[in-house]
A and B are shown apart, each in its own frame.
Chain A
Amino acid sequence: MQARRMKTLNKLYQHTPCYSWHVKAGARMVEFAGYLMPVSYSSLIEEHLNVRANAGLFDVSHMGEIFVEGREAKEFLQSVLVSDVDKLFPGLAIYTLFCNERGGIIDDLIVYCLKEQKYLICSNAATTEKDFSWLVKQKSRFDVELRNKSVEYAQFALQGPRAEEIFRLIANPALCAIKRFHFASGEIDDIPVIVCRTGYTGEDGFEIFLPSSSARTLWEKILSAGAEAKLMPIGLGARDTLRLEQGYLLYGQDMDEETTPFEAGIGWTVSLHKEFIGKEALKRQKEEGLKRNRVGFVMEGNEIARHDYAIVSTERKPIGRVTSGTFSPSLKKGIGMGYVPANSVKIGDEISIAIRSGFAKGRIVKMPFVIGSSSRQA
């Protein structure tokens, strides 16, 4: 990466606190959601496989952190989230969504119950501003305060079957012992952290929130502690292939404000037993049935399906579009997901993908495409 190019890009984009570490490590930097982020440090495939076999450390400080605090924090969240917040208690987190009145997904999030009247929302980098203004608009009748602290907080993800082994070398046993979707606050070398057993890779692991000012110190500490266990820094490129192998959705690509949770296959987040924005539309859709839904497919040959390629039936009739597609480093094959008319295909069916001037065969499969250590553990 040459000096002049970086100078131009630096003016346009934000940095995470570990930015200069990434550049110094020789990472290939790309723009993502307004940030200059490492896409890979060495080989994307090598990074991907290392997370599946050992462990990887991701700088995901671009993600948003919104704090919700006040007497009616719970009631407020109950009204804007599709999930039942009553199920949360201090130390537990949930994967959930904001929807609009039409039941379309505004964002997917993890919500952490810090204490009875205080919650942390972790949002997508590209949607944090949108989420925050939307929340501000909804809060009028609630006694609650909203704070967007995305710049003050850094976030790392330590993921892989050896994540706990590595984390034990730097964190106290209480932080290491937390179970899936549970979290704890504590300190690592006097750095205040919130540690959650979650991730976007399908592997066991931790997501760590910490003050941006201490980010570089902890980043280097985790990497050197994990060196013997083959820990590697991992870029956004492998983050994308890892999540895709799990069938996890990427907001803005696999779902948007025109997609409902039921269509996206994440209807399990929705609790229709309470009142929230979008409930009526979602209830109606559930009663009337879906018009389309998300499916996953594996390519038969060595072609790679990509975003926006057409999904066609065996009769060569277009039935949908690929929302995410890539080469799966674990399966050594093309995999992808997309939306098709409801009940038009079932698991095991053959489909084709229109690739350039031809068609390539694929097969509908159940997701996840690859079983990671997080489900083996559970």
Chain B
Amino acid sequence: MEFPENLLYTKEHEWLRHEDDHVVVGITDYAQDALGDIVFVELPEEGDSVVKDDAFGIIESIKAVSDIYAPISGHILEVNEALLDSPSKINEDPYHTGWMVKIKMENESELDDLLTMEEYEQFVNEERELGLDKEEEEEELDM
């Protein structure tokens, strides 16, 4: 499982790439693997305001529906429209063609709350040890 070093991460399993005044956001390799085949995404529109920790999109695998949370406050600069027709890009290449949105930051200091690669890797290992995460609980109800 790959977690690039130059990215920042959240406990909701999103990654951020800091580029000047904005960030590029997607979900991590761990998240796409846990979800399985992704078959639907709903993303905000260009210009929408987003608030840190609020849900701003939906991601669906065959078995589960999950919210996507804004990792940072600001407004949407650009949306990866290609995902709407081929959401499987997120499975195939979560850090490049699978990016979801670009957010223009309101407050760059929010970046300080994010996890480094080492911190995220440790978090993932702990979560795997402890087991049943949200997606799996949903799955059990669904089947």
A303 touches B40 (CB 8 A): yes
User: A130-138, A235-243, A261-269, A280-288: which one contacts chain B?
Assistant: A235-243
Residues on A with C-beta less than 8 A from B84 are 302
Contact string against B for A residues 22-64, beta-carbon threshold 8 Å, 1 for contact and 0 otherwise? 0000001011100000011001110000000000000000000
Within 16-38 of B, Cβ neighbours of A (below 8 Å) are at: 36-37
Give complex CA distance A39, B61 in Å.
13
**Assuming the A-B contacts A5-B128, A307-B142, are A241 and B62 also in contact, with contact meaning beta carbons closer than 8 angstroms in the complex?**
yes
B62 touches A45 (CB 8 A): yes
Residues on A with C-beta less than 8 A from B1 are none
Closest beta carbon of chain B to A317's beta carbon, Å: 25
A302 touches B40 (CB 8 A): yes
A40 touches B36 (CB 8 A): yes
Give complex CA distance A30, B140 in Å.
7
Count residues of chain A with CB under 8 A from any CB of chain B. 27
**Assuming the A-B contacts A30-B143, A44-B37, A236-B143, are A5 and B132 also in contact, with contact meaning beta carbons closer than 8 angstroms in the complex?**
yes
**Assuming the A-B contacts A43-B36, A327-B40, are A237 and B62 also in contact, with contact meaning beta carbons closer than 8 angstroms in the complex?**
yes
A9 within 8 A of B: yes
A303 to B, closest residue via Cβ = B40
B62 touches A326 (CB 8 A): yes
Q: For A39, give its contact among B128, B131, B139 (CB under 8 Å).
A: B139
Give complex CA distance A236, B140 in Å.
12
Residues on B with C-beta less than 8 A from A5 are 128-132
Closest beta carbon of chain B to A83's beta carbon, Å: 28
The winner among B58, B62, B85, B142 for most chain A CB atoms within 10 A is: B62
Contact string against A for B residues 121-143, beta-carbon threshold 8 Å, 1 for contact and 0 otherwise? 00000001111100010011011
B130 touches A31 (CB 8 A): no
B39 touches A304 (CB 8 A): yes
B60 within 8 A of A: yes
Give complex CA distance A237, B61 in Å.
11
Q: For A44, give its contact among B60, B62, B85, B136 (CB under 8 Å).
A: B62
Closest beta carbon of chain B to A316's beta carbon, Å: 20
Q: For B129, give its contact among A4, A40, A303 (CB under 8 Å).
A: A4
Closest beta carbon of chain A to B42's beta carbon, Å: 8
A356 within 8 A of B: yes
Closest beta carbon of chain A to B137's beta carbon, Å: 10
Residues on B with C-beta less than 8 A from A43 are 36-37, 91
Contact string against A for B residues 31-74, beta-carbon threshold 8 Å, 1 for contact and 0 otherwise? 00000110110000000000000000010111101000000000
B130 touches A4 (CB 8 A): yes
Residues on B with C-beta less than 8 A from A30 are 136, 139-140, 143
A2 within 8 A of B: yes
Residues on B with C-beta less than 8 A from A44 are 36-37, 61-63
Closest beta carbon of chain B to A18's beta carbon, Å: 19
A306 within 8 A of B: yes
Residues on A with C-beta less than 8 A from B65 are 306
B140 touches A31 (CB 8 A): yes
A140 within 8 A of B: no
Give complex CA distance A251, B57 in Å.
33
Closest beta carbon of chain B to A126's beta carbon, Å: 10
B39 touches A2 (CB 8 A): no
A307 to B, closest residue via Cβ = B142
* Cβ-closest 10 pairs across A and B: A5-B131, A327-B39, A45-B37, A2-B128, A2-B129, A4-B129, A44-B62, A327-B62, A44-B37, A31-B140
Q: What is the interface of chain A, defined by CB distance below 8 A to chain B?
A: 2, 4-5, 8-9, 28, 30-32, 39-40, 43-45, 236-237, 240-241, 302-304, 306-307, 326-327, 329, 356
For this complex, 13 residue pairs linking A to B, each with C-beta atoms less than 8 Å apart, are A2-B131, A4-B131, A5-B131, A28-B36, A32-B140, A39-B139, A44-B61, A44-B62, A44-B63, A236-B143, A241-B62, A306-B142, A307-B142
Q: What is the interface of chain B, defined by CB distance below 8 A to chain A?
A: 36-37, 39-40, 58, 60-63, 65, 84-85, 91, 128-132, 136, 139-140, 142-143
* Given A45-B39, A327-B62, 18 more pairs with CB closer than 8 A: A2-B131, A4-B131, A5-B129, A5-B132, A9-B131, A32-B140, A39-B63, A43-B36, A44-B61, A45-B37, A302-B85, A306-B65, A306-B142, A307-B142, A326-B62, A327-B39, A327-B40, A327-B60
